[in-house]
């Protein structure tokens, strides 16, 4: 049963798409070494997004493409050309970035191509005042791109986990009955029983005394002791009962 449930969950969960990232294109005053460092930052951010399957980098592209396709990749700039490359790689998405320097500022562009539709599904840019600020841009652009690509899906991950069934509200634990209430109930029962026994003994002593023939003086002492014992039980039982009832009532 557990295996069947797991199979159904895996079958229902949407697949995470694969993506290939072209090497960052360094243009207009940007050194290739700087573009290579930022390119690796993009790869890490894309993989850590949790919304993609495999993320293929530039070295993977060169290993998978033949020489002619590599030449095409180096000069690929239009959307149709990128779509052809994606089709050759067998991935549904291509990620393309470029970095340029204008004056003292750096401008980074990106776009994500949907290979099957040959259209751009996400596009954006960021400006940095220095190389230090450039280090923060890959993560910002990846977050922006994933938000555009997977718009409407849960933010945490495109590979949704089984949803936890929703309930009407948090279940409130029932309040345990405190020991004081149980003690009160017990005292009440014990007191009532004692009072009942005492009352019975008092009635029995009275009947025995009345049944004795004259003179009754000889039996009065016996009757007096019996009635005292009975009254102690009777009155004591009533007192314990009252205490127990009060304890049970005032206990939360």
The confidence score (pLDDT) of residue 154 equals 46
Mean pLDDT of the chain: 74
**Distance between CA 57 and CA 54 in Å, rounded?**
10
Structural domain including 230 reads: 179-250
In a domain, 9, yes or no: no
Q: Which two tokens stand for residue 155?
A: 């933010």
The confidence score (pLDDT) of residue 118 equals 86
User: Which tens digit of pLDDT belongs to each residue from 31-74?
Assistant: 999 999 999 999 999 999 999 999 998 777 777 777 667 666 66
Do 125 and 186 reside in the same domain of the chain?
Answer: no
In a domain, 10, yes or no: no
Do 211 and 130 reside in the same domain of the chain?
Answer: no
User: Is the model's pLDDT at 116 over the cut of 60?
Assistant: yes
User: Which tens digit of pLDDT belongs to each residue from 22-40?
Assistant: 889 999 899 999 999 999 9
Say how many domains are in the chain. Answer: 2
Highest mean pLDDT range out of 104-118, 194-208, 233-247?
104-118
pTM score, whole prediction: 0.53
Do 39 and 106 reside in the same domain of the chain?
Answer: yes
User: Which tens digit of pLDDT belongs to each residue from 166-196?
Assistant: 555 555 555 555 566 666 666 667 766 776 6
Give 105's strand partners: 102
**Distance between CA 70 and CA 64 in Å, rounded?**
9
Q: Residues 197, 238: contact at Cβ < 8 Å?
A: no
Find the helix or strand (DSSP H, E) in which 96 lies: strand 93-102
In a domain, 195, yes or no: yes
In a domain, 224, yes or no: yes
The confidence score (pLDDT) of residue 65 equals 74
User: Which tens digit of pLDDT belongs to each residue from 134-163?
Assistant: 999 999 999 999 999 888 544 444 344 445
Residue 68, phi then psi, degrees to nearest 5: -65, -40
Residue 1 has what DSSP assignment?
A: -
């Amino acid at each position: 049963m557990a295996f069947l449930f797991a199979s159904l969950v895996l079958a229902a969960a949407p697949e995470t798409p694969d993506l290939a990232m072209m090497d960052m294109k360094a243009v207009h005053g940007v050194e290739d070494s700087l573009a290579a460092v930022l390119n690796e930052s993009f790869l890490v951010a894309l993989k850590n997004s949790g919304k993609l399957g495999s993320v293929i980098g530039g070295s993977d592209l060169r290993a998978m493409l033949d020489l002619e396709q590599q030449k095409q990749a180096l000069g690929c700039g239009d959307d149709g050309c990128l779509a052809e490359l994606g089709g050759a790689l067998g991935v549904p998405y291509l990620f393309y970035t470029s970095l340029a320097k204008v004056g003292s500022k750096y401008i980074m562009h990106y776009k994500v191509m949907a290979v099957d539709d040959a259209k751009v599904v996400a596009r954006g840019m960021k400006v940095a005042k220095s190389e230090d600020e450039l280090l923060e841009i890959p993560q910002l652009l990846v977050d922006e791109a994933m938000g555009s690509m997977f718009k409407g899906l849960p933010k945490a991950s495109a590979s949704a986990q089984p949803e936890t069934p929703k309930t009407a509200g948090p279940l409130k634990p029932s309040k345990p009955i405190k020991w004081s209430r149980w003690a009160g109930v017990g005292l009440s029962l014990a007191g009532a029983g004692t009072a009942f026994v005492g009352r019975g003994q008092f009635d029995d002593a009275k009947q025995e005394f009345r049944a004795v023939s004259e003179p009754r003086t000889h039996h009065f002492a016996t009757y007096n002791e019996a009635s005292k014992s009975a009254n102690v039980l009777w009155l004591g039982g009533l007192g314990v009962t009252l205490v127990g009832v009060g304890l049970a009532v005032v206990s939360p």
